Amino acid sequence: DATVRRIAAGEVVERPASVVKELLENSLDADASRVTVAVEGGGVEGIRVRDDGVGMTAADLERAVEEHTTSKITGGDDLDQVGTLGFRGEALHTIGAVSRLTIRSRPRSGGRGHELTVEGGTAGEVTPSGCPPGTVVEVADLFYNTPARRKFLKTETTEFDHVNRVVTQYALANPDVATTLEHDGREVFATEGAGDLESTVLAVYGREVASSMIEVDGGRPEPGADPSGPVESVSGLVSHPETTRAGREYLSTFVNGRYVTAGTLREAVLDAYGGQLATDRYPFAVLFVEVPPDAVDVNVHPRKMEVRFDDEAAVREAVTAAVREALLEEGL
Ligand code: ADP
Ligand code: MG
């Protein structure tokens, strides 16, 4: 029944950042090359995600907000599911149950635009809408009908921090997608979508950090060595040991292209710096680790994006070696 559904939804959609994450995922799945995330009041008042992806027909729109509907096929326990709402085809339906959700979409391949509004789980009619190709999803008044959940929200600043982190992770993981984040009408960052990590880091973290970044390009087995090791490659950027922050949220790790948190990876990076980091300071890192899909366990804590590796020690060693080598090349 509707109440049970609302409570269940409140447990999976934790906060504005969880909504942003799902909408961003959908835009990227829709092959967008440009995505704009605009939030008001930390995302509590409103969230709007606009993309230039494949878009939806009127029939697609209707289906998109129904329960358990997805146009996507997935292999089950794969890394693609890390951190998503846990079920395929649940995000829009779930978000629609706890907010006022409006979707406007027009297929990129041609045809007219349409819009659909869902309020507290009740979908309205699909009506024509003059919108550009692609999709705009607006979420207003999140948790307006679940006061208990709404009470758990933190200040606008804290909620926006979470939103910022999510959008930053996706921007860094997708340098070929021009990603813009706005808060209360002000641009927070905008990546070019030029495809290179350097310009993406510059857009997201600014010039001081970007200019201190050191390229990591390692982890590949030596020519002739056994290629079936637990790590295929380790690449990305890490900062000079003097460019640090007090929080570890700037140490971003991605496994097979997905943002993950893994103590193993974080410690591996820190180890590579030896004693060069000041106490309680963390470097910036944007590190991509590629492993065979069956060498990583994604079911540790789906919503927190935690993963574990079959061979933690080997992964740790490979990551430390790759980062160490990069620092050594800079004489560090
Ligand atoms: P899932 O992403 O798991 O399929 P969602 O509830 O997030 O489930 O989305 C339901 C469906 O709506 C998707 O399968 C997709 O077909 C469609 N959809 C959602 N967002 C977009 C978008 N931004 N562009 C195009 N289609 C979308
Ligand atoms: Mg989705």
pLDDT tens for 178-204 read: 999 999 999 999 999 999 999 999 999
Burial 179-216 (b: 16+ CB within 10 A, else e): bbbbbeeeebbbbebeeebeebbbbbbeeebbebbbeb
Q: How far is the CA of 262 from the centre of ligand 2 (A)?
A: 23
Highest mean pLDDT among 207-211, 257-261, 289-293: 207-211
Centroid of ligand 1 to alpha carbon of 71 (angstroms): 7
More confident residue, 73 or 43: 43
Ligand 2 mean position to 49 CA, how many Å? 13
* Cα 65 to ligand 1 centre (Å): 8
pLDDT confidence band for 67 (50 / 70 / 90) = confident
With a cut of 90, say whether residue 230 has pLDDT above it. no
Answer whether 20's CB lies under 8 Å from 9's CB. no
* Average pLDDT along the chain: 91
Tell which atom from ligand 1 comes closest to the C-alpha of 53.
24
Model pLDDT, residue 90: 85
Residue 228: count of CB within 10 angstroms of its CB: 9
12, 52, 57, 71: which to mutate for ligand 1, most atoms within 8 A of CB? Answer: 71
**Ligand 1 probe mutation, 70, 73, 85, 136, most atoms within 8 A of CB:** 70
**Which of 27, 29, 31, 34 is the best mutation target for the ligand 1 pocket, counting ligand atoms within 8 Å of the beta carbon and taking the most?**
29
Tell me, in angstroms, the distance from the centre of ligand 2 to residue 234's CA: 28
Give the distance (Å) from ligand 2 centre to CA of residue 114.
19
Q: Which ligand has an atom closest to residue 92 CA?
A: 1
pLDDT of the residue at 86:
47
Q: Encoding tokens for residue 310?
A: 């079959």
pTM: 0.93
Q: What is the pLDDT of residue 29?
A: 93
What are residue 235's phi and psi, to 5 degrees? -145, 165
> Which of ligand 1's atoms lies nearest the C-alpha of 84?
3
pLDDT over 80 (residue 12):
no
Q: φ and ψ at 316, to 5 degrees?
A: -60, -45
Residue 175, token pair as written in the block: 């340098």
Q: How many residues does the chain have?
A: 332
pLDDT single digits (tens) 148-160: 889 999 999 999 9
Mean pLDDT across 203-221: 92
Tell me the ipTM for this assembly: 0.99
| 233 close to 219: Cβ distance less than 8 angstroms | yes
Is the pLDDT at 251 greater than 70? The verdict is yes
Average pLDDT over residues 85-109: 88
Give yes or no for residue 53 having a pLDDT over 90.
Answer: yes
Q: What's the rounded Cα separation, in Å, for the pair 57 and 34?
A: 20
CB of 319 within 8 A of CB of 231? yes
Q: Which residues pair with 186 in a beta bridge?
A: 183
CA distance 27 to 183: 19
Least confident of 35-49, 124-138, 291-305: 291-305
How far is the C-alpha of 165 from the C-alpha of 70, rounded, in Å? 26
| Rama region for 253: left / alpha / beta (φ>0; ψ in -120 to 50; rest) | beta
Q: Whose CA is nearest to atom 4 of ligand 1?
A: 70
What pLDDT, on the 0 to 100 scale, is given for residue 8?
61
Q: Which residues line ligand 1 (CB under 6 A)?
A: 22, 26-27, 30, 51, 53-56, 64, 70-72, 88-93, 135
Radius of gyration of the chain measured on its C-alpha atoms: 21
User: Looking at per-residue confidence, does 304 or 119 come out higher?
Assistant: 119
